Amino acid sequence: MPEPIVELKNANIYQGESLVLSDVNISVNRGEFVYLVGKTGTGKSSLLKTLYGDLKLREGEGTVAGYDLKKMDWKKVPYLRRNLGVVFQDFQLLTDRDVNNNLKFVLKATGWKDEKLMDEKIADVLDKVGLKTKGFKMPFELSGGEQQRVDVARALLNSPKLILADEPTGNLDPETSDEIMQLLFHICRDYGTAVVMASHDYMVVTKFPARTIKTERGKVYDNATISIT
């Protein structure tokens, strides 16, 4: 049986008082890779923010990794986010500490206490993203692609059921972009982690095809076809 990690039914997504997306019905299963596409301003980010608890779901039903989005409050959001990994376009690494300590900061913030277990987990995620020997580097010593890999490693720290990636290849050259895409597909396939990736780079979407959800004119279309215009 498919295990749904994301499920929205008749959901209305608001940004402030504005209705951004209406009557959203989507589900994403464990180990599934899904693109979220659409022009800037069509609600992609609002949809992602709803999934990681930044925007409250007011109308309709929604669950993410077993958490009811309607019942989300500031106390419950950290628990939801422990089951998620979020990858940003601009890396958002702490510039004053090395890679290991960037990752340790996140583990401590999500309740880890045991130094040995933290060190083992950090070594494990850096190995998964191909940066086994880069833990002692400062962010400025890494290339853009390596920084994005650290961002992916950070997203993997709590063995998430779902990774939400917001334009993760937006600041990368085509070759590095391909490497990050291969890495995300590999994580999806080998670890059963669902990935929802927002992108407006249709070259990436065509090169690495997967199910595509599109935001357009206040609606969300599942299994959308992409025309490169």
Q: Which domain holds residue 125?
A: 94-158
CA 226/CA 208 separation, integer angstroms: 13
Q: Are residues 115 and 182 in the same domain?
A: no
Model pLDDT, residue 3: 86
Instruction: Give me the torsion for CA of 185, 186, 190, 192, rounded to 10°.
Output: -30
Residues 165 and 152 in one domain: no
Looking at residue 225, its pLDDT comes to: 62
SS3 of residue 187 by DSSP:
helix
pLDDT score for 229: 38
Which residue in 11, 5, 92 sits closest to 55, CA to CA?
Answer: 11
Q: What is the pLDDT of residue 224?
A: 64
In a domain, 89, yes or no: no
Angle at 25 between CA 23 and CA 28, to 5 degrees: 155
Instruction: Find the helix or strand (DSSP H, E) in which 62 lies.
Output: strand 59-64
| Per-residue confidence (pLDDT) for residue 228, from 0 to 100 | 43
In 60-131, which ranges are continuous DSSP H helix?
77-82, 99-109, 115-128
- Which DSSP letter does residue 173 get? -
Total domains in the fold of the chain: 2
Q: SS3 of 116, please?
A: helix
Is 16 in the same domain as 111?
no
Which residues of the chain fall below pLDDT 50? Answer: 228-229
Within a domain: residue 88? no
Predicted pLDDT of residue 109? 86
